[in-house]
Amino acid sequence: MFAVFGGFQSRTGALRPAVFKKLLQRDQPARGPSRGRWVSVSNSGETVRPLEGIKVLDLTRVLAGPFATMILGDLGAEVIKVERPGVGDDTRAWGPPFVGSESVYFLSINRNKKSLAVDLKNPRGAQVVRELAGMCDVLVENYLPGKLQEMGLGFDQLGEVNPQLIYCSISGYGQTGPQAQSPGYDSIASAVSGMMHITGPEDGEPVRPGVAMTDLATGLYAHGAIMAALLQLQKTGRGGHIDCNLLSSQVSCLSHIASNYLNAGKEAKRWGTAHESIVPYQGFRTKDGHIVVAAGNDKQFVQVCQVLELIELTQDPNYKSNKLRVKNRKKLLQTLSQRFQQEKTADWLRRFEGSSVPVGPINSIREVFSEPQLPLHQVWI
Amino acid sequence: MFAVFGGFQSRTGALRPAVFKKLLQRDQPARGPSRGRWVSVSNSAGETVRPLEGIKVLDLTRVLAGPFATMILGDLGAEVIKVERPGVGDDTRAWGPPFVGSESVYFLSINRNKKSLAVDLKNPRGAQVVRELAGMCDVLVENYLPGKLQEMGLGFDQLGEVNPQLIYCSISGYGQTGPQAQSPGYDSIASAVSGMMHITGPEDGEPVRPGVAMTDLATGLYAHGAIMAALLQLQKTGRGGHIDCNLLSSQVSCLSHIASNYLNAGKEAKRWGTAHESIVPYQGFRTKDGHIVVAAGNDKQFVQVCQVLELIELTQDPNYKSNKLRVKNRKKLLQTLSQRFQQEKTADWLRRFEGSSVPVGPINSIREVFSEPQVKHNALIQEMKHPTAGRIAVPGPAVRFSSFPPSGPTPPPLIGQHTVQVLRHTLSYDDGLISTLLESGAVVQNEAF
């Protein structure tokens, strides 16, 4: 009645054998017409997705890793999400809000994955994962460097069994180096990497981006790196170890801000919504919200003045060129700010239509999802 | 003396033929030992073959999102041919100060590992050059307003006919179709429209934008992945296709749980400064000389915070016993902690937190970022020699692979630095044809090089 598994004797738990039988009966091939959800896409060539046939063993938790593996799943990969029994991915408990018993946070980034609940601390559980790694193309993990090695699931160990395995590690600061053992938190990485220093009101305190862009950028780098490794595998026949981390991702994204410092010794500062070298190029309060105006040249500045019915500004010698507007920004922005506050956002947007000035509302989340440009939402039942 | 090209008569420009001859003499296969820059990487071991070796990318993008994506493709070994309009080139070449010599530091930061081909797309002969290149390239990336390249005969349908395997990646503000498709893509505006600004800023203050254009950068990151996905798909299907990346979609997708809160529970987002809505204390604090971020996610870590701050009484306060209670009574608690943090310097606090399990970190200025030992360890300061600017440094690649070493990058190109090289080696044009094109102004070779 109790099957033998890989040489290990099974042990009775609290469950009765009949329950195991029932669990095993699930996932048998369906008889009769397949149910809509499980219909396989016909591979006539046109509908083959880029990562069809690729198996991803996903040992990541929280945001950066799951975000990356979700995109791989969207691209057609089979993603097997390994979760510890009971708690699972930490974000399953994050809320409110919950929908029923499901954390809305977890729901947002875990579609297109299968969940395998395995106790890695149990040698038999680790063995399952080891065997899976032998059959998968990609493994993604975000443990502290060295932790998986302790369980026999490190890159060197699994690479021996499966030299073609692409092993993508996501961490806070990198696989090696003085800070490698610091756990990776988006808030901290955002601070250490300079992102917070450059974000916030002009004369105010630093803030963090309202969603964990450091985590997300790392996930985006990782999803690309994994596909790069898949392409390289075809040339070399070998996998390899990929090192993605929050610090490197965010510092790389500093791009020109970093370049200013590295080449010209120029430190960055906070600018609110404004632009250091273009005026007016920022958000303004309106009667009922905010609008962002990006007047990048003199012609657009004139149009702004026309829409605002402040024609006199176009004659003011202090504002004739962008350079002058930057020089005299305080006074000009004060004038424009006062004017913008007199009408509603929608009215301003309407008045700017037909001009060549880029403008847009600062949308709340509700307003974002009312935007007509967002494609008709997809409903999969 | 003037060759005929594709039926078009060449016209004399201001340049004398002798100058053209000089331009053409550049880029001849070197005699004798090859110059370092043009030595091809030996692939005999297989080990040092980079993922995108052999892939040709025709890069028609400008500014940030596109060039950022193609730079990463170049880092991964692709040959990136950057098409720029003669004279001005990529807009960011003019963005500054700061400049290093005559080079915009903005441009330098995101344009390594690319060749520059200066082509006038409005000139039919220029457009023809690009059309022929598209026939020989694996990937084309562009960020024109939807429809603009079509007008020049360089749209996806048109080029796809010539090269059905072409992967054509379009980057725009809002998408290739739809009511806002014709709005130009500015990071500031997209950041506002997509909700990013609404959720960023001080708790009781005005919205702000992320200090670097994360919407643009996220789009570039989505694009670089999408292009490689299409390369993988090409192998299965034998066909390329059109990829639609845009600022709006990239940023909205990145809203992840913030969006999910609204879509599933009707919960609107608000701004939190550096703080966390549901964990306290989990935010930045002013110190005597800067700021520190503390992420005390559980009760044990909260106790350690109190110990380090020498505010033991807080651990006995029933109002702060659990995270739930700390969230409820956050104002008072954060006030107390804030006052205490301001009494010492950041470095002192960091030292005192060592050995505890509380995640902490300084809010680093850019100067401080590049003094971090881990940043140096991760090779995030990439130095290279630029032909006119001299020694330059840019932020290095974010990802490291054990399967290939980071290669010495080629510096960001001067405008039109590789025009003749590309025409000769990629398109196999003969000297006569190249002369004609140069004379007509359809293409321009950088003379300084």
Cβ separation A365–B265 shorter than 8 A: no
Give yes or no: residues B234 and B294 share one domain: no
Based on the fold, state whether residues B205 and B328 are members of the same structural domain: no
B58/B169 same-domain check: yes
Q: Is A215 a catalytic residue?
A: yes
Which residues in chain B touch residue A52, judged by CB atoms under 8 angstroms apart? 236
Q: Are residues B250 and B297 in the same domain?
A: no
B357 in any annotated domain = yes
pLDDT > 90 in chain B, percent: 86
How many structural domains is chain B composed of?
A: 2
B63 assigned to some structural domain: yes
Residues B288 and B188 in one domain: no
Residues B118 and B419: beta-carbon distance below 8 Å: yes
pLDDT band at B32 (very low <50, low <70, confident <90, very high): very low
Q: Is A247 on the interface with B (CB under 8 A)?
A: yes
Residue B320 lies in a domain: yes
**Residue B292 corresponds to which tokens in the numbers above?**
């520190």
Rounded to whole angstroms, the Cα distance separating B81 from B57 reads 6
State the nearest Cα–Cα gap between A247 and chain B, in angstroms.
Answer: 8
What is the model's pLDDT at position B448? Answer: 81
pTM listed for this prediction: 0.90
What is the dihedral angle through the alpha carbons of B26, B31, B35, B40, rounded to the nearest 10 degrees? 100
pLDDT tens column, A321-359: 999 999 999 999 999 999 999 999 999 999 999 999 999
> Do A259 and B72 make contact, defined as CB atoms within 8 angstroms?
no
A17 to chain B, minimum CA–CA distance in Å? 39
Averaged over B377-385, what is the pLDDT?
96
A13 touches chain B (CB under 8 A): no
Cβ atoms A364, B193 nearer than 8 A: no
Looking at the complex, does the CB of residue A20 fall below 8 Å from at least one CB of chain B? no
Sequence-distant (≥ 6) Cβ neighbours of residue A122 within 8 angstroms: none
Q: What are the backbone angles phi and psi of residue B186, rounded to the nearest 5°?
A: -115, 135
Task: Say how far apart CA A201 and CA A269 lie, in whole Å.
Answer: 10
Tens digits of residue pLDDT in B353-370 = 999 999 999 999 999 999
Could you give the CA distance from residue A96 to residue B63 in angstroms, rounded to a whole number?
41
Whole-angstrom distance, CA of residue B61 vs CA of residue B30: 31
- Model confidence at B17, pLDDT cuts 50, 70, 90, reads low
Residues B243 and B289 occupy one common structural domain: no
- Establish if B414 belongs to a structural domain: yes
Position A202, amino acid:
E
Amino acid at A356: S
In a domain, B38, yes or no: no
Same domain, B220 and B302: no
ipTM: 0.90
Shared-domain flag, residues B138 and B182: yes
Is the predicted pLDDT of residue B283 greater than 70, yes or no? Answer: yes
> What is the Cβ-side half-sphere exposure of residue A221, based on CA atoms within 13 angstroms?
33
My answer on whether B93 and B208 are in the same domain is yes
Q: Which two tokens stand for residue B439?
A: 């004379």
Q: Does A365 contact B221 at a Cβ distance shorter than 8 Å?
A: no
Q: Do A187 and B373 touch (CB under 8 A)?
A: no
Considering only residues 286 to 315 of chain A, which have any Cβ-Cβ distance to chain B shorter than 8 Å? 290-292, 294
Q: Does B202 touch chain A (CB under 8 A)?
A: yes
Query: Containing domain of residue B147, as a range?
Result: 50-255+384-396+409-444
Contact B198 A362 (CB under 8 A): yes
Asked whether residue B390 is assigned to any structural domain, the reply reads: yes
- Each residue's pLDDT tens digit, A278-335: 999 999 999 999 999 999 899 999 999 999 999 999 999 999 999 999 999 999 999 9
Maximum CA pair distance of chain A? 93
Give the length of chain A.
381
Contacts A280 to B, Cβ<8 Å: none
Domain CATH code at residue B309: 3.30.1540.10
Tell me, yes or no, whether B43 lies in a domain. no
Which whole number is the average pLDDT over A166-182?
97
Q: Nearest CA to CA, how far is B424 from chain A (Å)?
A: 28
Q: Are A207 and B273 within 8 A, CB to CB?
A: yes
Residue B426: inside a domain? yes
Instruction: Kindly state whether residues B93 and B129 are assigned to the same domain.
Output: yes
Q: Do A210 and B196 touch (CB under 8 A)?
A: yes
**Spatial CA neighbour of B349 closest among B296, B297, B290:** B290
Q: Which residue in B has a C-alpha nearest to residue A246's C-alpha?
A: B398
Q: Are residues B169 and B291 in the same domain?
A: no
Q: What is the CATH number of the domain that holds B66?
A: 3.40.50.10540
B280 touches chain A (CB under 8 A): no
Query: Tokens at residue B121, please?
Result: 């797309």
- Residues B217 and B162 reside in one and the same domain: yes
Cα A82 to Cα B343: distance, rounded to the nearest angstrom: 45
